Amino acid sequence: MQAATVIIIGGGPAGATCARELGKHGIDVLVLDKCEFPRTKLCAGWITPKVLAELELTPRDYPHSITCYRRIRFHFRGVPVPVPTHQYAIRRREFDHFLLERAGVPVHRHAAGHIRKSGGTYIIDDAYQCEYLVGAGGTHCAVYKNLFSELHPRDPEHCIVTMEEEFPFQWDDPECRLWFFDHGLPGYSWYVPKQDGHLNVGIGGKLSALKKRGETINAHWHRFIEKLAGKGLAGGYRFSPKGHMYYLRGRTDAVHRENAFIIGDAAALASRDMGEGIGPAIESGKLAAASIISGSAYSVQAVSRWSAPRVLSGRRAAPAGA
């Protein structure tokens, strides 16, 4: 059986950040991920200056494409509201691979399934054992399922369903656009043109509200695509989107159990207003690492719960090197 002091299940932004912090302190850490990196992760890839600051990274030092938006065009029920800001977009395929490599810790390809505790040790699939276990496997995290699902049941009211596609595209309009509540969508849709000739378009909404109205995210997606075509924003492209669900932040009091922790989407930490999950994943990864290093309690109370204030004040938060 392979042993490490800390095993992190999931090498996304939460797991990679936690791994990097532990590695810096010389702690024996191993990351398990079911995918070979670089891997595709459904996500618009919007990050705030705070995310870069948390990662101790400037846009200049980031070796892949990063797009800066000085203005975002919000649309509320059809009314355009251009907002001056300072935000970024990366491509998750590149960003996650970069973060995981930068962590500098061993990564094994393994899809974790069964987890049990024996004495003071966590045993994963009778193949790996560790003293500390960190669940960073996203919405369907095995650590959450095995050790936390009863303690921390997910609130169905906070479930977001999404459809999205990112593809190479020679877009004409460089402005990032967000449409809130179009045709009664309990959420928003987005058009995110990226500097390296990619376009990300997607839609997300609260599952419970859609169900109450007898609507599906798929029907909203089709209306959205027609709208994009009508505006000449993605004309001629034949879409084949994928779907994913995740949870907005709800209760956060049960994210730690003995020497097991959950971070990022595994702990359901995305911001309540805009579903921003990369920042909370990184913040919680750092907090879990600090708790393992110092023996202090792990709490995610300090993790940002709202995004809008940072988007609206983004102009003032530009990092050095931007």
The token pair that represents 88 in the structure block: 């970024």
Ranges within 144-163 binding ligand FAD (CB under 6 A): 162
Over the window 29 to 58, marking each residue x when it contacts ligand FAD by CB under 6 A and - when it does not, the resulting string is ---xxxx-----xxxxxx------------
Of 123, 139, 126, 104, the residue nearest 259 (C-alpha): 123
Least Å from the CB of residue 113 to ligand FAD: 7
The answer to the question of residue 137 lying near ligand FAD (CB under 6 A) is: yes
Least Å from the CB of residue 120 to ligand FAD: 22
In whole angstroms, give the CA distance from residue 116 to residue 99. Answer: 29
Are residues 152 and 254 in contact, defined by beta-carbon separation less than 8 angstroms? yes
The answer to the question of residue 11 lying near ligand FAD (CB under 6 A) is: yes
Q: Among 14, 22, 115, 178, which residue interacts with ligand FAD (rule: CB under 6 A)?
A: 14
Ranges within 271-300 binding ligand FAD (CB under 6 A): 275-279, 281
Nearer to ligand FAD, 215 or 232 (CB): 215
Question: Pairing state of beta strands 187-194 and 121-124?
Answer: unpaired
DSSP string, 128-145: EEEEEEEE--GGG-HHII
In whole angstroms, give the CA distance from residue 154 to residue 251. Answer: 9
The token pair that represents 241 in the structure block: 């989107």
In whole angstroms, give the CA distance from residue 231 to residue 267. Answer: 38
Nearer to ligand FAD, 14 or 130 (CB): 14
In whole angstroms, give the CA distance from residue 288 to residue 138. Answer: 15
In whole angstroms, give the CA distance from residue 165 to residue 188. Answer: 15
Q: What count of residues does the chain have? A: 322
Nearer to ligand FAD, 169 or 280 (CB): 280
Least Å from the CB of residue 172 to ligand FAD: 22
DSSP type of residue 139: G
Least Å from the CB of residue 168 to ligand FAD: 18
Over the window 236 to 265, marking each residue x when it contacts ligand FAD by CB under 6 A and - when it does not, the resulting string is --------x-x-----------------xx
Over the window 200 to 219, marking each residue x when it contacts ligand FAD by CB under 6 A and - when it does not, the resulting string is --x-----------------
Q: 309 Cβ partners below 8 Å, 6+ apart? A: none
List contacts with ligand FAD (CB under 6 A): 9-15, 32-35, 41-46, 111-112, 136-138, 140-142, 162, 164, 202, 244, 246, 264-266, 270, 275-279, 281
